[in-house]
Structures are given as structure tokens and as C-alpha cells.
Structure 1
Amino acid sequence: MFIDRTLHGVKLPKNMFFTAAVNPSISPLPNDNRAHRSDYLVHRLPQSLENLKVCYDILESKTLEDYIQQKISMFRVDSLSNNSETQMPLEEYVQEMLTKSILKAQEFCEKHLGRNSVSQREIQRCFNLIGFFWNMRYDDEINDHEIQYQSRAKQCIALALALTYYFRLPTAEDNLQRNDTQTPTREELDQLLSNIIPDFSDMIEQELERFVNTNNFVFPEGVAINQAVREHIFSIVVSIATRTPLCIIGEPGETLFFSLLITFN
């Protein structure tokens, strides 16, 4: 298609041209024999294409903040009033809370997990998840029109941040068991986010316990409802409902199979 300008034997119009987005080239370090990498390798462009590329640097913090603010200003959620068909923008203090939270989480992951660990996809994923949690109701909330806007907004933002950033990190106890002194912990991210969303981790724990329990799921005999099970089931259910790709990676014995079985049953 690129060379002879045909597609399935049909010639392409002369006014059609090709553009491509290419990541900067990254070469492996000398004697780097790692089986698993925290970043990816990108080969250099062929010499014939080097003079055709236009380089763009990563967004600076201020530019990224402006981008997030613009995205949030256009974001709409259903009204909590009786007329659920009415959509409204987030209130200013909620917009500010969401902007600061996403920005801090993005910067944390870029600094501690690598520049390739997050992108604008995470930002969009947060919006999608906030919209989902905003519209989700427990049975005892369906006819409750007195739900407090502020608490609802904090809850939705916290859960979206947890699924996008928080759950990908190990706990301090996990690192201690693996003798890992390099990987950042949830507690570190929690400390940052709790300055913006008070009691961030406690809010997540309460929602996990409220959602993943014997009232909502049938647990096989002998399966303990521990933190790992709650996180796995919660993440699987939300990923299915929102059609968000999900990859759960863990050591053998961390009830990954049972979490899938419980969810699908």
C-alpha cells in the first residue's frame, strides 16, 4: 500500500498521503538481558525517513494540566435530581479536585514506573470510569434522590483513580515479602492523593467491602474474602461493564482463577 499505492489491487487517489505517529527510538542498555521490562524498545527509523519526521516532546506539567482542565470542562454527568436525563458539567471544586488528582497520579507513575507507564489514555479512562460509577446504584439507592453531590463526586473520582493507577501498585507488605526496595507502593500514592481526596484509601476499602460480599456473590466453600479477592472481582466486574481491557498479574495462589469463577457465576 505504501510502495505501489494500491489497496487490494485498486489504485489509491493521488491526493492521498500517509502520516504516522512514532515513538522516539529507545536502544537497550549495554548488557541489558532482562526478561521483563518496565519500558519498551523502539527501533530507529530508516535513514530515508529521518528527514521526514517532526519531533514533539512530551507535554510539560503545565500544558498537561491545561489539557486535563479542558477535558474536564467538557465532561458531563447525569443530574442527581429526579430528572436523570438532564446532564450537567461537574461543579468547579470537583473539577479542581479531579484535575489535581489525575495530574498527581500521572506524575507519580511517570517518575516511579517509567515515562511509558501512563499516557493520555489513562486520563480518558478516568473519565469513562467516573461516568460509570456516577450512574451505578445499589438497590437501596435506586429511589434515593437525596444522595449528596459532594460525597458522590469524591467516591466516583476515588474509584476511577483506584482502577486506573492505585491497583497497579503493590502494597508495602508485598514489597517486603519480595524483598523489593525499588517498586513504589500504594501507600506512597495514597499519601499524595489523600492531600486532595481525604481518606482516599479508606474510601476505596469501604467500597470494596460494600460491593464484594456474600450478599452480592456466591463464594465457593473455603475461599476467603480477602483484599486480593475483593480487588480482583471488583476490577473484573467494572472492566466487563465498561468494556475496559484488564490484565491481572499475580503469583500462584492469589485466587485469580476463583475470582474469575465467582464473577462469572
Structure 2
Amino acid sequence: MSTTQLLMKLEAMARSSNEKLDLPKYVLCIDNLIKMALILLRVRSNIPVVICGEAGCGKTSLIVCLAIMVDVRFLTLNLHAGIDEKTIMMFMNDALEKAEKGETWILFDEINTCNYLGLLADIISNRMLNGKLIHPNIRLFSACNPYRPRIQAQSEANLTNIKSYEERSDLVYQVKPLPDQILDYVWDYGILKPDYEYKYIQIMVEKELKNLAHPVFPELLFASQKFIRQVEELCSVSLRDIKRAITLVKFFYNSLQSRPPYKKGHIYPSENPNTITRSYILALSLCYHSRLYEQELRKQYRHEMEQILQNHEVYIVENMFAKIIHEEQEDYINRMQLPLNVAKNEAILENVLTMIVCILTRIPVFIIGETGSSKSLAIRLISSNLRGSDSNDKYFRRLPQVYLITHQGSSLSTSESIIKVFDIANKYQETSSMEFPVISVVLLDNIELAEINSFNPLKVLHSLLDPSYPATGPTISVIGISNHRLDISKSSRALLVQRPQFDLDDLVDTAERLLNTKVIGPGQRDALEPLANAYSNYKRKNQVLLNFHGIRDYYSLVKRLSLNEMTPENIQMALARNFGGTGDNAKLFEDYFGDVLKMFNNHEP
């Protein structure tokens, strides 16, 4: 039976009206149509529906879509740790009032993140509220993520974790187990089967991209999903990632078609590959390539994507994937006015491009990386350069002015404080006009610190980052920067960037870009690799106090060496200022930086 035939049968079973059905931005296929039919059978029997499934498998959107199809009153309560009993009672009283007028569906979304599971379980299993039966016109729905221990260690960008976070990270999702009394009503969605997922991808690409669609893109997306699942959790990616990739293809295509050059005579992009292929690669780079936390994994991913493109006879040569990414990053950073001593290394290039694109497309993004990986610096550069009509660059003058509203994450963060920041951002967004366009950006700084809070205030982000269908996304932009990765239920609702730890090549490249060539001569530049190697060995193996020194001390050391004449006294002073404070400085310098000192001092001890 075809999708159209099945939809017609479902409509005949669900709808009393003959009006044409319009489901905005919803992809229909055999899989979800069968699920709708089975849910409808439960509803007709007045049996509660509790859907349990991985993040992004379409639980909430499917129920909302079915409610639109049936044409009933539909109410949703987005639950999180900040929801109290009073809020639940107010919601139920409103639902009971509406139920007097006819059939009313109510959905408790993310039910097992709430602290009042007993109250909700009594409503769902016994249809009781305050000792009284609820109205017979009410139909009950719930959605939740599974309570499941982590099987495979989730990447935390190889960072040292906060102890409380380590203890809680044993679970894939930070949720509570469901009460026994509602387990009989649970419908386990699990994860999409590969065949169904590929079908969904094909339909979404064809429906959304239209003339920009090519048979290679669904295959690239399907292979990308598979690659991420092999290196992370099986539930790490979902159809949300497909939706983001499609949005980015449209953005990059339109941007590349109309973006003026950053300087006279500069030609970008080149004709090969064509703009559509280039847009595919850039979308994949942001959605999948940037979330890979090891350089070797990124290399493997690029190679696999290049093979698929070549199999479809799409113009692509070896290492073209990396070249296209770098060209786009350079095009954005070259439009910016940078402070002195800012090294245009891979970290700042990736962070700036990702943040700007996500701000403009309103795709939430989490940037994960160790201290010193240019997360905050990228934010400052964007804020100082994207000033609307006051921007220096011609392209940036076409874009809205960026307005930052910051929430500083801490163990004292609450759901209310996070909601308040979003409310401020939404109110400021309302001031935007055609003449003076602005875009509000909520910056969640050190957001991982809020995850320590036992009340789990970050669960409120679920509905803020990913509003319920038929809404297509948040009305503002959201950037989270963190030293640690959040759990999958949050990270799946945003584009994820995990900065790899700095390897030797990164350290040398950054040092070269920071150098003042008037002070450090060609012969002394040869000391950069031993300097980077000395720092890497010291940080990795022999720090007396864990993380006492870090990448920022390395940056500062290189800058200090660039300021003054390379005398033994100045070199010793630079090392003492940046790597002192832990005891025997002389032994530290001799053990780790002795060879470097000799090279800077023309090989004299």
C-alpha cells in the first residue's frame, strides 16, 4: 500500500471533516502513518499512550500531527525539573474546563524529568486528580526518553570532568525511572530502523531542497549518521540532524550565490565544484565533521564522504573536502577586524564560521572544547564585527546586528533564571525591523556547570531549543559554550562542535601565527616545534597540580617571547611568568624547556 493510500485510510478513520488536510513541515511515510493508526486505536479505547524513545525519533511531533489530523483540542505541558505541583494543577484545571466542550488531548512531554512523577502517574494510570475522576473527554499522552545506563563512553573532548557530572553521566539521559503503575502503557519506539531512516531522509531532501536536491545527498546524510553512531552512542544523531543539514544547504547556497568578495579582485567560490556540491560539503562539515573530537576521525570522515561523491561522479579530488571547509572559514575571518596577537588557527576559524552560520539560521549550537580553544574569543569577534549597517565589511552590513544576552552557568543556575534570559532575548527580538534588523543571541556560558545542579535546570532547554511541532524552531539564536559535553537529550537539540585537543601541529601553527617576526629571526623559529613538544609533554605527563597550566599559558609564552630581545634573561623571565608558581622553576625549565632555551640562545647553555 502506498503512502498516499495509507494516508487516505488514516484520514477516513481519524477525521470527520472533508476539508483538505494540511500538515506543515511534516514528513509522512509508511512508518509514522502505521504508528498514528495504532495510537488512534488506543485513543478510541481511552487507553493512555506513553511513548518512550530516543531523542529526535519524532515522539512529540507525531502526537501533535495526529491531533491536527483528528482536529481536536490539544494541550501540551513541557515538563522539566523547574515545574512545580501548582503549575501541573493549573494546567489540569484548564484542560478540565476545555474538556467540557468536547474531546481534549493533553500531552505530558518529557514526563520523567519532573519531580512530581507520582502525581502524574496517578492521572495517567488511574485518571484521578485530587481523589476525583478526570473528565471522560480527556485523552492522555506522555513522551519520555528511556532510563538507560551508558554502554559506550560518551566523548567529553578528553577533558577532566567535574565529579558530580561523572557520577550522573552513567546514564544516557538524565531522567528518572518511570513508576511501575504506568509501565503497562509504555510504547517503546526505540530507534529508527536503517531502511525507514533512509526513506525519511530521501523524502525530507526531496520535499525541502526541491531543485537543489541530488541523489548523492541522501546517501551522504545516511552515511554520516552511520559514521557518528559508530564513534558515539547509537542515539547520538537523529532526524533533527537531517533537518539541520537541509537548512544549512539552503543557507550556504543562497549565501554563496549573493555574497560579495571581501576585497577587490578576490574570486570566491571557484567554479569547481559547483555551488550545490560546495553547499552539501559545508552543511556536512558543520553538522557532522565538526562534532568529531579527534583529528584522525575527521580525516576518516572526509575520506568516506569524498568516496561517495566520486562514486556518483561528482567533481571532487583528494582533500577537496578539507579545502572547501578552509576556504569558507577564511572568507568569513578575512572580513573581520581582529585585535593584535589573534592567531587565525583552526580553532578560531571553525568556531567563528559555525557561530555566525548558526546565528543567522537560528540553529542552536553547543561549542565544546578545553579552556583556551577560542570559544569566548569567537563570540567577542562576532559581536564586534556583526554590527548591522555599521559593520566595516560589505557583506556584514547586509546582516542583522548581533545582540548578546548572556547567562553565566553555575551550580546555582535555576530553570527560572534560564527562562528569564530567553524572555529578555525574545522581547529584544521584537524590536527588529526591516530598517534596523537585529538578531538576539542567548549565550549560555560555561553551561556545563549548571548540569551539576541536582534540580537539573537545563531540562528547560528542551522546549526552548526545540519548540513543539508545528513550530519550526526558536525565534532567537542560542550559543552554548562548555568544557564538557551535555547529555544527549540536550545536545541532540543543537548543532554540536567538539574541538579536538591541540596536537603538535596545532601548537606549532598557532605559535607561528602569534610570532613577531621582527623580534624572532628565522633561526629561532626552528625552536617552535621543540617548544610545542616541551609544552605538550609537560601538560600531559608531569604537572604537579592537574590543569594548573594550560593552553593559554602557552599562548602567553609565545607572545612574551615576541615582545623583547631574545636574551637568556628575557627567555627565563617569559618561562617564569607563564609556567612558574608550582615550586622548583629551575628544574622545570631544565627538564622540559632546556633544549628550547639553548635554541633561542643560539645553542649556548
Q: TM-score, normalised by structure 2?
A: 0.35
How many angstroms apart in 1 are the aligned matches of 2:307 and 2:142?
40
Measure how far apart 1:25 and its partner are.
2.7
Q: 1:83 is matched with which residue?
A: none
Q: 1:166 is matched with which residue?
A: 289
Q: 2:341 is matched with which residue?
A: 222
Measure how far apart 1:153 and its partner are.
0.9
How many angstroms apart in 1 are the aligned matches of 2:183 and 2:279?
45
Match of 1:75 among 185, 190, 208: 208
Measure how far apart 1:41 and its partner are.
4.4
How many angstroms apart in 2 are the aligned matches of 1:63 and 1:102?
14
Cα 1:149–1:230 shift into 2, 3 Å: closer
- Secondary structure of the 1:230 match is helix
The reply to whether residue 190 of structure 1 matches residue 302 of structure 2 is: yes
What is the alpha-carbon root mean square deviation over aligned residues? 3.0
Match of 1:210 among 317, 322, 331: 331
Q: 1:56 is matched with which residue?
A: 189
How many angstroms apart in 2 are the aligned matches of 1:211 and 1:139?
11
Q: 1:90 is matched with which residue?
A: 212
How many angstroms apart in 2 are the aligned matches of 1:140 and 1:5?
54
- Secondary structure of the 1:234 match is helix
How many angstroms apart in 1 are the aligned matches of 2:95 and 2:229?
45
Count of residue correspondences: 232
Q: 1:112 is matched with which residue?
A: 231
Cα 1:221–1:152 shift into 2, 3 Å: same
Measure how far apart 1:55 and its partner are.
2.0
The reply to whether residue 157 of structure 1 matches residue 280 of structure 2 is: yes
Cα 1:150–1:221 shift into 2, 3 Å: closer
Cα 1:47–1:251 shift into 2, 3 Å: same
Measure how far apart 1:212 and its partner are.
1.7
- Secondary structure of the 2:186 match is coil
Cα contact 1:6–1:12 (8 A) shared by 2? no
Amino acid at match of 1:157: Y
Measure how far apart 1:211 and its partner are.
2.3
How many angstroms apart in 2 are the aligned matches of 1:211 and 1:228?
14
How many angstroms apart in 1 are the aligned matches of 2:348 and 2:374?
7
- Give % identity: 25
Gaps of at least 5 residues in structure 2 are 1-86, 100-134, 152-162, 310-315, 385-605
Write out per-residue CA displacement over residues 171-190 of structure 1, whole angstroms, 9 at most, x where no aligned residue: 43xxxxxxxxxxx7211211
Q: 2:492 is matched with which residue?
A: none
How many angstroms apart in 2 are the aligned matches of 1:10 and 1:21?
21
Amino acid at match of 1:70: I
Cα 1:251–1:6 shift into 2, 3 Å: closer
Measure how far apart 1:203 and its partner are.
1.5
How many angstroms apart in 1 are the aligned matches of 2:229 and 2:274?
29
Cα contact 1:233–1:259 (8 A) shared by 2? yes
Task: Report the structure number with the largest CA radius of gyration.
Answer: 2
Cα 1:66–1:28 shift into 2, 3 Å: closer
How many angstroms apart in 2 are the aligned matches of 1:195 and 1:22?
38
Segment of structure 1 superposing worse, 218-227 or 41-50: 41-50
Q: TM-score, normalised by structure 1?
A: 0.77
Amino acid at match of 1:189: Y
Cα contact 1:228–1:254 (8 A) shared by 2? yes
Q: 1:25 is matched with which residue?
A: 147
- Secondary structure of the 1:115 match is coil
Cα contact 2:201–2:218 (8 A) shared by 1? yes
Greater strand share, 1 or 2? 2
Cα 1:18–1:71 shift into 2, 3 Å: same
Cα 1:130–1:28 shift into 2, 3 Å: closer
Measure how far apart 1:2 and its partner are.
7.0
